[in-house]
Amino acid sequence: MTPIHFSKSDLVFGGIAHSAGDAASHDSRLGELPNWNLADLYPSQNGPEFLGDLEKAKVEAASFQDKWKGKLEAACTQTGATGLGQALHEFEGLEDLIGRIGSYAGLTYYGDMTDPAKGKFFADISAAITDIAANLLFFGLELNRVEDNLLESAMQQDAAAGHFRPWIEDLRKEKPFQLDDRIEQLFLEKSQTGAAAWNRLFNETIASLRFPVDGEEVPLEAALDKLQEPDPETRRTVAATIGKVFKDNIRIFTQITNTLAKDKEISDRWRGFKDIADSRHLSNRVEGEVVDALASAVKAAYPRLSHRYYKMKARWLGMDQLNYWDRNAPLPETPAQLVPWEEARQIVLSAYQDFAPEMAAITQDFFDKNWIDAPTRAGKAPGAFAHPTVPSAHPYVLVNYLGKPRDVMTLAHELGHGVHQVLAGKQGALMCSTPLTLAETASVFGEMLTFRALLAKTKDKAERKAMLAQKVEDMINTVVRQIAFYEFERKLHTARKDGELTSEQIGELWLSVQQESLGPAIRISEGYECWWAYIPHFIHSPFYVYAYAFGDCLVNSLYAVYQNAAEGFQQKYFELLKAGGTKHYAELLKPFGLDATDPSFWDKGLSMIEGLIDELEALDKAD
């Protein structure tokens, strides 16, 4: 199943996006908000279409194993119906079918994670897919045992096999870390009662938490939203409430974190990974030293980015030092703006249209064909994501739309993912998925297009200052905080090797990286030590977070090329998106004159953030 790409622009308070809870979905000022139409995948979970495909997947996966297991080496010497190309074609078809089934079950569940019936449906289908996948597990393992020269000959002699060269070459990178077939099957089957089960427990625990705010019991999203209120006392009391609820439930989050960290350590040890993040680097197809260079560059930039900005913000808010709950408080100049859905739609479409009509045309489908789920509601997955589903269908976008300017940026971000997924889908089920090194490119670029379009139309000095400040905060949340999260994960997984960690120990690790990254202008006081608990990336995708910083810095450099480029940038940009997972990021960046393996590359991206802070400082001095 292809990966969900969670929003980066929503990582304001921790690691997940935020929405305003049940009541906000009834705000008539937003206009009519769309609900997605999952019938494009299946009309219903009990209908003949879904049940028929589920049975078809079971039968065809078993037949595929009977037909090809133990015969792939021989297939490399043949073409046509008995050749490797045919086997790959059939395997891809099964991947698309299984991915469609899994996507439908997942999206149904994310629509309401507190509904027991939907939870059972998701769990049952996940288990069925695992059983089906057990019949296909042999394929990659056996293919990796074929000698290099024989496999190369097959790709040269059989055009059908040669078509899948990028997928095969990616598969070969996994070869040093694959285990005996029976052990691999055990890992696969036990994932249902291992990592997957703990992930579900985390999801449903977060979705069920309630926070007393203004006399109501509200979900986490509604409580987090209050941290953007102008009133400092509201922010203080809500932050205390959030911290208390986290602390009251910290035992379960500590258990989940310890278990999954140990589970990962066992898997990494068996597979032979040396560093705790190596498995993520491998799946991202990025070299560890490149990530190290990124992390080092960002950490070196803390003083001139986050430290400097928050010192300015404290002065704007009339404080010597910001409290941790003031970090995302609105500036006094920030207009009390609510953006109706239709206006948000036009803002994003207009920005995309100005860049490339093809980009706007693809985005239009998301609005016109109900590929977006926008309202907040009880039990719905928090935040925002784009799910590519499978090439035979189309992507879906989930947001929790409240009408705030940040929500417009989130919409632009997720639709950037959506455009990327539509274009990459033409590569087919095996090669459409983009590694995280480039998966955030289109989303962050789309967000930047939207921001720049809005900024260009802003003539009021105070409004411009507020927009720039919000953008700088989003970029700090994306780059600085995500690298801090990455450092936190490194510390946590390293410490876990020496034994189970207490809640207090995890909290100490959390506070250490937060203070370092946020700087002396932020006062981190009692109550914040448990805020690591709700960040889903730590649970679902360990070490995922650096991809946001990677993507933001990369896009900053890419956008600079766009601003100075002659005609032809758009075409090269679309070629990058259409490539999906068929090319290494270094090859895809070459036409733009960019080299992410150069350690100085990251300083170029960081300099754009610094430039925006310079502009804010100049506006401040001009007052």
The angle at the Cα of 561, spanning 558 to 564, to the nearest 5 degrees, equals 155
Q: Which two tokens stand for residue 312?
A: 């300015």
The pLDDT of residue 16 is: 32
Handedness of CA 373, 378, 381, 385 (dihedral sign): positive
Least confident segment among 296-300, 391-395, 404-408: 404-408
Whether residue 430 has pLDDT greater than 50: yes
Q: Which two tokens stand for residue 430?
A: 């095996």
Tens digit of each residue's pLDDT (9 = 90 or more) over 76-98: 999 999 999 999 999 999 999 99
- How far is the C-alpha of 219 from the C-alpha of 149, rounded, in Å? 57
Work out the mean pLDDT of the chain and round it to a whole number.
92
Q: Which residues contact 560 (CB under 8 A, 6 or more apart)?
A: 604, 608
Q: Which residues contact 417 (CB under 8 A, 6 or more apart)?
A: 5, 386, 395, 397, 439, 442, 443
SS3 state at 258 = helix
The pLDDT of residue 186 is: 93
Least confident segment among 14-18, 114-118, 169-173, 558-562: 14-18
- Given the structure tokens 């579900």, which residue do they identify? 200
- How far is the C-alpha of 508 from the C-alpha of 422, rounded, in Å? 43
Tens digit of each residue's pLDDT (9 = 90 or more) over 324-336: 999 999 888 777 7
- How far is the C-alpha of 57 from the C-alpha of 104, rounded, in Å? 14
Under 8 Å between Cβ of 442 and 355: no
Q: Which top CATH class is 38-195?
A: mainly alpha
Q: What percent of the chain has pLDDT over 90?
A: 79
- How far is the C-alpha of 177 from the C-alpha of 515, rounded, in Å? 37
Model confidence band, residue 2 (pLDDT cutoffs 50, 70, 90): very low
- How far is the C-alpha of 87 from the C-alpha of 138, rounded, in Å? 12
The pLDDT of residue 132 is: 96
Q: Which two tokens stand for residue 613?
A: 């802070």
Which residue, among 24, 381, 36, 375, has the nearest Cα to 208 in the 3D structure? 381
Distances (CA, A) of 518 to 322, 522, 524: 10, 6, 9
Listed ranges 3-17, 162-176, 455-469; the one with the highest mean pLDDT:
162-176
The pLDDT of residue 332 is: 82
Under 8 Å between Cβ of 535 and 477: no
- How far is the C-alpha of 59 from the C-alpha of 42, rounded, in Å? 19
Under 8 Å between Cβ of 588 and 579: yes
| Mean pLDDT along residues 530-550 | 93
| Mean pLDDT along residues 549-566 | 88
More confident: 10 or 447: 447
| Mean pLDDT along residues 4-10 | 42
Under 8 Å between Cβ of 369 and 308: no
Model confidence band, residue 461 (pLDDT cutoffs 50, 70, 90): confident
Handedness of CA 276, 280, 285, 290 (dihedral sign): negative
Whether residue 202 has pLDDT greater than 80: yes
| Mean pLDDT along residues 285-299 | 94
Q: Which two tokens stand for residue 230?
A: 């102008």
- How far is the C-alpha of 159 from the C-alpha of 385, rounded, in Å? 37
- How far is the C-alpha of 200 from the C-alpha of 209, rounded, in Å? 14
The identity of residue 226, as a single letter, is K
The pLDDT of residue 174 is: 94
- How far is the C-alpha of 305 from the C-alpha of 317, rounded, in Å? 18
The pLDDT of residue 27 is: 80
The pLDDT of residue 379 is: 87
Q: Which two tokens stand for residue 414?
A: 């997720």
SS3 state at 322 = strand
Least confident segment among 87-96, 253-262, 608-617: 608-617
Query: Residue 604, class by beta-carbon neighbours within 10 Å (0-12 exposed, 13-18 middle, 19+ buried)?
Result: middle
Task: Give Dmax (Cα) for the chain.
Answer: 76
Identify the bridge partners of residue 213 per DSSP, sorted by sequence position: 216
Under 8 Å between Cβ of 469 and 313: yes
The angle at the Cα of 251, spanning 246 to 257, to the nearest 5 degrees, equals 95
The pLDDT of residue 10 is: 35
CA torsion 7-12-17-19 (nearest 10°) is -140
Model confidence band, residue 11 (pLDDT cutoffs 50, 70, 90): very low
Question: For strand 396-398 and strand 372-373, is the pairing parallel, antiparallel, or unpaired?
Answer: parallel
| Mean pLDDT along residues 284-313 | 95
The pLDDT of residue 1 is: 41
- Given the structure tokens 């999203």, which residue do they identify? 221
The identity of residue 435, as a single letter, is P
The pLDDT of residue 8 is: 38
| Mean pLDDT along residues 20-48 | 82
Whether residue 14 has pLDDT greater than 50: no
| Mean pLDDT along residues 47-71 | 98
More confident: 262 or 11: 262
Tens digit of each residue's pLDDT (9 = 90 or more) over 64-79: 999 999 999 999 999 9
Whether residue 13 has pLDDT greater than 50: no
Whether residue 111 has pLDDT greater than 50: yes
- How far is the C-alpha of 395 from the C-alpha of 4, rounded, in Å? 10
SS (H, E, C) 200-253: HHHHHHHHHCCEEECCEEECHHHHHHHHHCCCHHHHHHHHHHHHHHHHHCHHHH
- How far is the C-alpha of 436 from the C-alpha of 507, rounded, in Å? 28
Distances (CA, A) of 314 to 97, 224, 469, 543: 54, 21, 12, 31
Handedness of CA 210, 215, 216, 221 (dihedral sign): negative
| Mean pLDDT along residues 146-169 | 96
Q: Which residues contact 101 (CB under 8 A, 6 or more apart)?
A: 50, 53, 54, 57, 125, 129
| Mean pLDDT along residues 140-169 | 96
Distances (CA, A) of 574 to 366, 421, 422: 18, 12, 11
Where along the chain do its domains lie? 38-195
- How far is the C-alpha of 205 from the C-alpha of 68, rounded, in Å? 43
Q: Which two tokens stand for residue 263?
A: 């589970």
- How far is the C-alpha of 298 from the C-alpha of 146, rounded, in Å? 42
Distances (CA, A) of 358 to 61, 272, 303, 432, 588: 38, 45, 41, 19, 20
Q: Which two tokens stand for residue 517?
A: 């990254």
